[in-house]
Structure 1
Amino acid sequence: MKLILVRHPQPLVAPGVCYGSTDLAIAPGKLEHTLAALQLPAGLPLYSSPLRRCAELAARLSPAPRHDGRLAEIHFGAWEMQPWDAIPRTDIDAWAADMVNYRPGGGESVLQMAERINAFYNELTTDAIIICHAGAMRLLTARHEGLSPAEMALQAAQTAHQIPYGATLTL
């Protein structure tokens, strides 16, 4: 099965802010910039995170995108929309000590996110385009390699964030 993963355009948020599952608008001009750079095949089903930064791109790419909440970015709980510098160092250290199971800000662990991404992946039956987030892209890549949710979470947690806004990854 061939999957084309597309990261959403740059959201409208100040640099250095933790935003995970917060439903942010797309920064001005970034939707058009992303659309101009994309070259996607026609005729494939298109799935999207329901968060605006993905859904707005999906709506421009398909007349009938399929929104799926399991594709949303990780929920950072009380950390959402906080400057990373304002999050207590002890909390960041606790997350770094257990990247797979720790629930940052009381939100969602990487393992919990991996389980929902795994459930989404297991329902796919055909090639598809998926508009989502960097975290979901790392987890989908790990799942496509045949990893279990625990292995997916560990691999994603150990993978540096190197996926630019609007980037495409073909699996």
Structure 2
Amino acid sequence: MNGFALHLMRHGAPERPGRLWGHEDEPSSAQGVALCVERARTLDFARVVTSDLSRAWAPGAIIAAERAVPHNADPQWRELHFGQWDGADPALLPQGDLARFWRDPDRFPPPGGERWSDLRGRIATALHACCDPMLIICHAGAMRAALAVLCGFDMRQGWAVDLPYGAVLSLKVWPGEQLSGQMTGQMTGLLT
């Protein structure tokens, strides 16, 4: 079966950068939105899917309108839920707890938050809805989870990929065999 192009774009810089923005709906700055729109102009896609959070949705709506392609928001593409830490400045959190989380987010998720494996499962479900060339505007955690699902990256390998605001990770995705349903992917580009 032929593969298809999948472009994952991290939303633009939020108005208040440096915080743990998970499910909190912090909008992107005007410059962040403009960067996403500009970078999308070089990509080939037939539709736009975004996280339902405004920092991803807002540039996606502009890009889809500019290209006259369908756009829909899917909450499965949200960032990891940081629970009680959502929107917090990491410097103000208990540093031992934060270090344990970064070292092993499955064993030490944020208080009231989501485990890494839950995010990975959510993204795996979202990826199964992908079948044609598309642009997905989402979050760094969701992009790293997609690398885990499609390319077999473990958590540390995913963190080795630099994904600044506005980064575009391009992949070729093969849907897999009918019986296994296992999708696979290959990185074809990274624009930072």
TM over 0.5: yes
Alpha-carbon distance between aligned partners in 1 of 2:10 and 2:158, rounded to the nearest angstrom? 19
Matches for 1:155-166 after TM superposition, within 5 Å: 155=155, 159-160=159-160, 162-166=162-166
* Cross-structure match for 1:13: 16
Matches for 1:120-139 after TM superposition, within 5 Å: 120-139=126-145
Among 111, 118, 121, the residue aligned to 2:117: 111
Cα offset for 1:24?
Answer: 0.9
Alpha-carbon distance between aligned partners in 2 of 1:105 and 1:170, rounded to the nearest angstrom? 33
Cα offset for 1:111?
Answer: 0.7
* Cross-structure match for 1:168: 168
> Any idea what the Cα deviations from partners look like across 1:94-149, whole Å, max 9, x if unmatched?
3245223422132111111001001111222222211111111111122222x4xx
Cα offset for 1:91?
Answer: 1.3
- RMSD across aligned positions (CA): 2.0
- Higher relative strand content: 2
- Higher relative helix content: 1
Matches for 1:1-171 after TM superposition, within 5 Å: 1-15=4-18, 17-38=19-40, 39-42=42-45, 44-63=46-65, 64-145=70-151, 147=152, 154-155=154-155, 159-160=159-160, 162-171=162-171
Cα offset for 1:68?
Answer: 0.6
Runs of 4+ with deviation above 6 angstroms: none
Structure with higher RCO (Cα < 8 A, 6+ apart): 1
Alpha-carbon distance between aligned partners in 2 of 1:41 and 1:120, rounded to the nearest angstrom? 20
Kept in 2, the 8 Å contact 1:101–1:111? The answer is: no
* One-letter amino acid of the structure 2 residue matched with residue 10 of structure 1: A
- Corresponding residue SS for 1:66: strand
* One-letter amino acid of the structure 2 residue matched with residue 124 of structure 1: C
| Unmatched 5+ stretches in structure 1 | none
Cα offset for 1:69?
Answer: 0.5
Kept in 2, the 8 Å contact 1:138–1:156? The answer is: no
* One-letter amino acid of the structure 1 residue matched with residue 58 of structure 2: E
Cα offset for 1:55?
Answer: 0.3
Q: Pick closer, same or farther for the CA change 1:11–1:162 going to 2, 3 Å.
A: same
Kept in 2, the 8 Å contact 1:142–1:156? The answer is: no
Kept in 1, the 8 Å contact 2:148–2:158? The answer is: no
Kept in 2, the 8 Å contact 1:7–1:166? The answer is: yes
Kept in 1, the 8 Å contact 2:22–2:82? The answer is: yes
| Unmatched 5+ stretches in structure 2 | 172-192
